[in-house]
Structure 1
Amino acid sequence: MSTLFIRNGFIAAGLANILAVLLLSRVFTNTVIPETDPVVMSSFGLLMIVVWGLVFLAVAPSYQQVKWVVGAFVVEKLVYAVAWFRWITTHDVAAVYAKDLFAGIFYSVYGLNDFLFMLFFAAVFFQLHKAGSNL
């Protein structure tokens, strides 16, 4: 993967976190999202997703120097993907859509997004590891 592609991938990850949460939560006013999963997607949890997005953006220009931070991103995305998979296989997303379209969209896609970015961050981490980056 080229440096430009990777940098843009970090930017995409950051913007996906920030814009999706702000849009689908209606800037933290959508009560259906935190009511649906108050442990993982509380209002505080949604705010922390935005903070992670800011961190992805901050790392974009210097990801080569922070291999282990990229590794932490893999773990962070894995945790959210697993939480989503457990939720989506034990709940009825149609019931969420019935309450609120934006919340339904949120619960339909957030785990897939996290899984795909987990794969991206893992590929970057292994590329850095292979290149011998020890930072």
Structure 2
Amino acid sequence: MKIQNEHLTKGFILAGMMNILGVLTFSRIFTNDIIPEFDSQAMSNFGLLMIVLWGFVFIAVSKSFHHLKWLIAVFTLEKLIYATHWTNWMANNNLSEVYEKDTMAGIYYTIYGINDWVFFFFFLFVFIRLVRKKN
């Protein structure tokens, strides 16, 4: 099965929209103090803003990704770092405490790492495809 570049372009746009809309929705446009309370290292308002910025970068390269092999490697690494951070957070924290304080923050902590693992594998797939592509 050959995946067309148009489908991969949509994957980049989806990755970007998940970052942008996910953060803006669950942080209530950076007014939800519970998200930073439970992970001030990665999920401060500054950290959340940087996640939104990454989302715009994913969208910005969506139509030219096939020329940007090493940037896609950076995307892959970025998602691996966030996904691993989330996995570690989930193993060492009580998610129900987040839900008790704020449902939106609880939902955010429940899903953001799953999203990052999915897009880690997406970017890895794209990177491997680009590496194997004959110039």
Cross-structure match for 2:107: 105
Residue of 25, 28, 32 corresponding to 1:23: 25
Matches within 5 A, 1:1-135: 1-132=3-134
Please give the TM-score of this superposition, normalised by the length of structure 2: 0.97
What is the alpha-carbon distance in structure 2 between the residues aligned to residue 5 and residue 59 of structure 1? 14
The sequence identity of aligned pairs, in percent, is 47
Report the Cα distance in structure 2 between the residues aligned to 1:45 and 1:10, rounded to whole angstroms: 21
Structure 1: gaps (5+ residues): none
Residues 79-110 of structure 1, C-alpha deviations (whole Å, 9 max, x = no match)? 00000000001101011001001100000011
- What is the CA RMSD across the aligned residues, in angstroms? 0.7
Structure 2 counterpart SS, 1:117: helix
Q: Which runs of 4+ in 1 moved over 3 A?
A: none
User: 3-state DSSP class of the match of 1:30?
Assistant: coil
Distance in 2 between residues matched to 1:105 and 1:69, nearest whole Å? 30
* TM-score, structure 1 as length reference: 0.97
Amino acid at match of 1:125: F
Q: How far off is 1:25 after superposition?
A: 0.1
Q: For 1:83 and 1:132, how far apart are their aligned partners in 2?
A: 35
Q: 1:132, CA displacement in angstroms?
A: 3.2
Give, as a single letter, the amino acid of the residue that structure 2 aligns with 1:23: T
Aligned residues: 133
Residue type at the aligned position of 2:94: D
Query: 2:134, 2:84 → 1: CA distance?
Result: 30
